[in-house]
Structure 1
Amino acid sequence: MSTNLLLNLNSPADLRQLEETQLPQVAQELRNFIIDIVAVKEGHLGASLGVVELTIALHYVFDTPNDLLVWDVGHQAYGHKIITGRRDNFHTNRQLGGISGFPNRGESVYDAFGVGHSSTSISAALGMAIASNLKGDYNKHHIAVIGDASIASGMAFEGLNHAGVTDANLLVILNDNAIGIDPSVGALKQYLTAVKAGKNPRQNNMIKSLNFDYSGPIDGHDIFAVIKELKRLQKIKGPKFLHIITTKGKGLQQAEENQVIYHAPGKFDATTGALQPKSEENLPPKYQDVFGLTILDLARKNDKIIGITPAMPSGSSLKFMMDEFPKRAFDVGIAEQHAVTLAAGMATQGMIVYCNIYSTFLQRAYDQVIHDVALQNLPVIFCLDRAGLVGEDGATHHGVFDLAYLRCIPNMIVYAPRNEIALQNILYTAQLGLNNPIAIRYPRGRGVVTNWQATNLGKYQEIEIGRSICIKEGSRIAVLSNGSIGNNVTLAIAKMQHPEMIAHYDFPFVKPLDEKELHTLLNNFKTIVTIEDGTVKGGFGSAILEFASENNYTSQITVLGIPDEFIEQGTVAELQQYCKIDVKSLEILFSNY
């Protein structure tokens, strides 16, 4: 290849100046560029490699940004970002002060809609298409690119159902690679597999029955075939649906063969694809593995225990239980609302249900938590992984609102363990016969206890509901921490010249609060500091302020946590520093009292 075409592409307008015969070279260069950067800087790899040809074809055929392109979730949008003017700063992807790992309206006019959670693209693009019609702009195109895992979500079907009775100029492209982060599941996956195999006659096509002009399936890696079909569809008005077949990780052998691992593989060798080895000896466990191995241990002893996750069996580590008890552990696909109400239904029949959902994704099932679980006081056990600041995934994925949005719900118990031993013990306690639903929220990443399995797996202690713990006594200031951020408090106190001034109390229960201990503390300390890995508006600190106000206490109470803004991407350490809840910031704060 004589010329590096990609380096001369600063916008889709430049791309459209090329001959069609040059586009396979652009595709190869784009793949290589993504691989070279992600190998060093990390990020989401497989999804973007799988849609390189589609990305180029879309920007080549359609007049972006005048035509509006919406990517579902956005894991697959790296090529889109590179082509749309962000090539030279793509190396800052997912870093503090850099570009977002997902499409972001504030970042580029080519990002028509901000995304990060799944199944929003059809509704968003349909809304844009209807608005264009109302403005008399009947020639504008609106394209939603959605994966086979995301299209199985209820919201996607709601969008399809509405779009089919409109004259909106909407094109839905199904990027069918049979995998989301983990392999796709469910009857729709089986249907799509049959369509790809030619086993479903066209007259039985479910998309056509929804009044879409259906075409496909076609090879999504044949750029000429994709362009030809997009040009044909460009001339057709109304709702259209293009089914393309792609391979996640296309172009890197290891990514094609190990699609789950190479979704976000960390650092790897760009030439060979080999993962950069990480020594995990003598490291504390990941919280997700503490959950997964503990629930497996409990399930072996209690056949009423059920595990449910919406599409995250690997990320949540429920896969341990799914492998050993496949009839009692369920991946229900990207369907958080269904997961919660399914758990509620099981709970009515006496089952002990651990419903494991990332904190940021439980937001998508808030009504079900209230209406189907808490209102009926069903003892569903919500295990909220990735609570608090999660790092490089940024604003769409931080789990910082759960304490606030859960503690206002009647009947709900809300608990955040300080370490992995506490997590094990609350998981054990929850299956002993609680009379209320409980939400257990724990962070992304590793804990602090290296020998947790030897010391505690199977040797559980029941936790008293609503009880706080005195970690350290002190004379002048009482620090009340919730959850694992309390470990920062311990480290900060240890660095102080006069640690004897600081009392430290772990308040793992945001609801119910340990009111007896709070009365004692507010009577004995004029200065109280609360700290949480959650929003300062409505969370743990707000609960303490409310209690003090209701009981006419006059102590000075400082609330530390996540400020009232959406926090962008960066490492967890960087973001904690920004929020002033890192060890150094706490040490300075405590020393100033």
Structure 2
Amino acid sequence: MPDNLLLNIDSPYDLRQLDEAQLPQLAQELRNFIIDVVSVKEGHLGASLGVMELTIALHYVFNTPDDLLIWDVGHQAYGHKILTGRRDSFHTNRQLGGISGFPKRSESIYDAFGVGHSSTSISAALGMAIASKLKGDVDKQHIAVIGDASIASGMAFEGLNHAGVTDANLLVILNDNAIGIDPSVGALKNYLTAVKNGKNPRQNNMIKSLNIDYSGPIDGHDIFAVIKELKRLQKIKGPKFLHVITTKGKGLKQAEEDQVKYHAPGKFDAKSGEIHKKQEENLPPKYQDVFGLTLLDLARKNEKIIGITPAMPSGSSLKFMMDALPERAFDVGIAEQHAVTLSAGMATQGMVVFCNIYSTFLQRAYDQVIHDVALQNLPVIFCLDRAGLVGEDGATHHGVFDLAYLRCIPNMIVYSPLNEIGLQNILYTAQLGLDHPIAIRYPRGRGVLADWQSKSFGNYEKIEIGSANCLKHGTETAVLSNGPIGKNVTMALANLNNPATIAHYDFAFVKPLDEKELHTILKTFEKIITIEDGVIKGGFGSAILEFAAKNKYTSKIQLLGIPDEFVEHGTVLELQQYYNIDVKSLEIVFSID
């Protein structure tokens, strides 16, 4: 076999010097390189393995970075990163100070558009194409690569709808592998399956009906066929659509057979593909599992309970309910806006709706939260997984804005449980019936109680809406925490030599605040410290400052949390240390007091 081709490629220019016959070897080398690194460093695996030939073909045919290439979401862009000058730094992927796990404009001129959330590629590429036309750059190519799960989102359809009435030089490539993170769902998925199986007549092609030139489907792993078709499309002006069939996880048997698990498998053996087992006995439960198991238990007792998630049944653990009670649990695909308004519609008919969605993804449905839920005061129960710092996925995924963007909405209750007991009890309380919508936010990762199920599961207690709790008495300083970050406070106080001067209060409700308790605290203590795992501007600490100012209290108030900046990638502990809200940093803060 010839020398390692990948070692000699530092840019797409180097790639284009290869003979076309060498590209299958390069695809195998690239797969092996990604497997070797991700097996040790972790990250997203299956998506990138599935588009290796497509990635090489795109950079081989098109003149990137002058031609603009956009990857939807970006889970599948590892090969792209390696071929565009980041091979030697790829081992730092998703690590503090390393390269991002997603395309990022500030990282490389080859990353034409920053991504992380789905279904943005078509609109962004169309915008670029229209701008190029206005500038007279008629030969410039604009390519959006989007998956079959992402294209089902409303925003993708909006982009296609607009593209069909323009003469913009846009190429949309549908990477169709029938799966996102979980298997794709919905009528569009069924339509694409019919097209792949040759059961749908060409004259009934929905893409053609939008006045977009459609070609395919073609085998996305036949690199010669892909290159041939891309070269043909390169010569055609106007909006074009190429349907490519791929296999997620291609080249690693286990990743092909278990595509959900190998989306981001953690550490695994590069040769065998076997995932390294983690020691999970006697560990506290994952918050997502506390949600999923509690909801299933409640749903079995309350026939009005409905579960809804936009494309994250495994990641959110709604899958427990979907498997046991499929008629009352729905994966609506990557459609956050639809998920929220669907929940609102069900709530008008007396259903008890749990809309389970990642904090960062609820941002995509903000208008629906305000207009369709809160304005009508419908008691939808929003369960916001991955609230706060989420770690290596970085700026696009941190759930640090929800406290600020939710507490300003009239009628909205906002609650962050201190631990898994608080989570199960608020879920129980919410399904008993509330007069307002509620957002329950909880973090990625595990709780604190290893024996949670044996001691407390099913033994629910009703929570008084708007109540705060004193966890530790003190004489001079009061620490007010919101949510699981309170664990850091408790641990820091336990490590102090003289903690008697410091009181600790759990303010699980950011809205409504426990005003009675706040009056007592502000009359008693000279100094107040607030701590939250969200942005300081507009968040929990801001609410305390507003209350103090309104009531003319003069206590010194210090706010701890995330400053006015986007948080990059790193482990949760590393990021807590960076923002001085880890245990050791809090010990220093409390010692100064």
TM-score, structure 1 as length reference: 1.00
Instruction: Report the residue type matching 1:390 in the other structure.
Output: V
Q: Corresponding residue for 1:504?
A: 504
SS in 2 for 1:241: strand
Q: Corresponding residue for 2:180?
A: 180
Q: Corresponding residue for 2:422?
A: 422
CA shift at 1:38, angstroms?
0.1
Instruction: Report the residue type matching 1:582 in the other structure.
Output: D
CA shift at 1:497, angstroms?
1.1
- Paired with 2:357 and 2:300, the residues of 1 have a C-alpha distance of 22
- Paired with 2:574 and 2:134, the residues of 1 have a C-alpha distance of 45
Q: Corresponding residue for 1:590?
A: 590
Q: Corresponding residue for 2:532?
A: 532
- Paired with 2:60 and 2:537, the residues of 1 have a C-alpha distance of 46
Q: Corresponding residue for 1:396?
A: 396
Q: Corresponding residue for 1:314?
A: 314
Q: Corresponding residue for 1:20?
A: 20
Q: Corresponding residue for 1:467?
A: 467
Q: Corresponding residue for 1:383?
A: 383
Identity of aligned residues (%): 83
Is residue 2:303 matched to residue 1:279? no
CA shift at 1:433, angstroms?
1.0
Q: Corresponding residue for 2:120?
A: 120
CA shift at 1:458, angstroms?
1.0
5+ residue gaps, structure 2: none
Is residue 2:362 matched to residue 1:362? yes
Instruction: Report the residue type matching 1:123 in the other structure.
Output: S
Write out per-residue CA displacement over residues 241-270 of structure 1, whole angstroms, 9 at most, x where no aligned residue: 000000000000000000000000000000
Write out per-residue CA displacement over residues 20-72 of structure 1, whole angstroms, 9 at most, x where no aligned residue: 00000100000000000000000000000000000000000000000000000
Write out per-residue CA displacement over residues 248-305 of structure 1, whole angstroms, 9 at most, x where no aligned residue: 0000000000000000000000000000011100000000000000000000000000
- Paired with 2:324 and 2:521, the residues of 1 have a C-alpha distance of 47
CA shift at 1:475, angstroms?
1.1
Write out per-residue CA displacement over residues 300-355 of structure 1, whole angstroms, 9 at most, x where no aligned residue: 00000000000000000000000011010000000000000000000000000000
Q: Corresponding residue for 2:575?
A: 575
Q: Corresponding residue for 1:562?
A: 562
CA shift at 1:454, angstroms?
1.1
Instruction: Report the residue type matching 1:326 in the other structure.
Output: P
Instruction: Report the residue type matching 1:255 in the other structure.
Output: A
SS in 1 for 2:30: helix
Instruction: Report the residue type matching 1:65 in the other structure.
Output: P
Q: Corresponding residue for 1:516?
A: 516
- Paired with 1:142 and 1:433, the residues of 2 have a C-alpha distance of 51
Is residue 2:40 matched to residue 1:40? yes
- Paired with 1:543 and 1:261, the residues of 2 have a C-alpha distance of 41
Q: Corresponding residue for 1:330?
A: 330
Instruction: Report the residue type matching 2:174 in the other structure.
Output: L
Is residue 2:1 matched to residue 1:7? no
Q: Corresponding residue for 2:266?
A: 266
Q: Corresponding residue for 2:168?
A: 168
- Paired with 1:587 and 1:211, the residues of 2 have a C-alpha distance of 63
SS in 2 for 1:175: strand
Q: Corresponding residue for 2:219?
A: 219
- Paired with 2:556 and 2:133, the residues of 1 have a C-alpha distance of 57
SS in 1 for 2:395: helix
Instruction: Report the residue type matching 2:112 in the other structure.
Output: A
- Paired with 1:280 and 1:325, the residues of 2 have a C-alpha distance of 27
5+ residue gaps, structure 1: none
Q: How does 1:239-258 map to 2 (within 5 A)?
A: 239-258=239-258
Runs of 4+ in 1 over 3 A off after TM superposition: none
Instruction: Report the residue type matching 2:561 in the other structure.
Output: G
Q: Corresponding residue for 2:30?
A: 30
SS in 1 for 2:531: strand
Instruction: Report the residue type matching 1:448 in the other structure.
Output: V
Q: Corresponding residue for 1:95?
A: 95
SS in 2 for 1:394: coil
- Paired with 2:122 and 2:412, the residues of 1 have a C-alpha distance of 34
- Paired with 1:455 and 1:550, the residues of 2 have a C-alpha distance of 43
SS in 2 for 1:461: coil
Is residue 2:425 matched to residue 1:440? no
Instruction: Report the residue type matching 2:338 in the other structure.
Output: H
Instruction: Report the residue type matching 1:181 in the other structure.
Output: I
TM-score, structure 2 as length reference: 1.00
RMSD of the alignment, in Å? Answer: 0.3
- Paired with 1:181 and 1:563, the residues of 2 have a C-alpha distance of 31
CA shift at 1:2, angstroms?
2.4
Q: Corresponding residue for 2:491?
A: 491
Instruction: Report the residue type matching 1:358 in the other structure.
Output: Y
Q: Corresponding residue for 1:197?
A: 197
- Paired with 2:2 and 2:9, the residues of 1 have a C-alpha distance of 16
Write out per-residue CA displacement over residues 124-159 of structure 1, whole angstroms, 9 at most, x where no aligned residue: 000000000000000000000000000000000000
Q: Corresponding residue for 1:144?
A: 144
Instruction: Report the residue type matching 1:180 in the other structure.
Output: G
Write out per-residue CA displacement over residues 461-507 of structure 1, whole angstroms, 9 at most, x where no aligned residue: 00000000000001111000000000000000011111111100000
SS in 1 for 2:386: strand
Instruction: Report the residue type matching 2:175 in the other structure.
Output: N
- Paired with 1:302 and 1:567, the residues of 2 have a C-alpha distance of 40
SS in 1 for 2:247: coil
SS in 2 for 1:519: helix
SS in 2 for 1:387: coil
Instruction: Report the residue type matching 1:22 in the other structure.
Output: Q
Q: Corresponding residue for 1:292?
A: 292
- Paired with 2:370 and 2:455, the residues of 1 have a C-alpha distance of 37
Q: Size of the alignment, in residue pairs?
A: 593
- Paired with 1:536 and 1:573, the residues of 2 have a C-alpha distance of 19
